[in-house]
Amino acid sequence: MSRFATDRRTLLRIVLLLAGAALTHAPAAVAASNGTGDAASAGNDAHAYRIEIHDFAFAPKELTVPAGARIVWTNRDDEPHTVVSAAGAFKPSKALDTDDSFSTVLDKPGTYAYFCGIHPMMVGKIVVR
């Protein structure tokens, strides 16, 4: 890895830490569930619905799940990403490095739009029935 790439990655992590701190203190609109950045609990949940972050996109982009489902996002990119509810329905993730996971449980039926706080063009949607 070149020095430029290393410096760029370090700078990006600093920005993400600052952005994450700002998001942590932002008021949540509707608390439908709590998110957890605990990769261990996310990785051990065999009944979770999984969303991969790869090539600067969420896959699948849209997911339909039953109420009470656990959704786990896993970053497969070499760049960090976050998962942020567009309406504040769940706590935002920390910056996810390669192979880091974030999970939340969505208890109430509805449509939950989300995006990457670092790359806002990355969007996804979860429909809870």
Structural domain harbouring 19: 3-128
pLDDT tens readout for residues 68-126: 999 999 999 999 999 999 999 999 999 999 999 999 999 999 999 999 999 999 999 99
End-to-end CA distance of the chain: 46
Sequence-separated (6 or more) residues with CB below 8 Å from residue 10: none
pLDDT tens readout for residues 12-31: 555 444 444 333 333 332 33
Q: Residue 83: which CATH number? A: 2.60.40.420
Looking at the predicted structure, is the pLDDT value of residue 44 above 80? no
Domain count, the chain: 1
Determine the distance from the C-alpha atom of residue 30 to the mean position of all C-alpha atoms in its chain, rounded to a whole number: 17
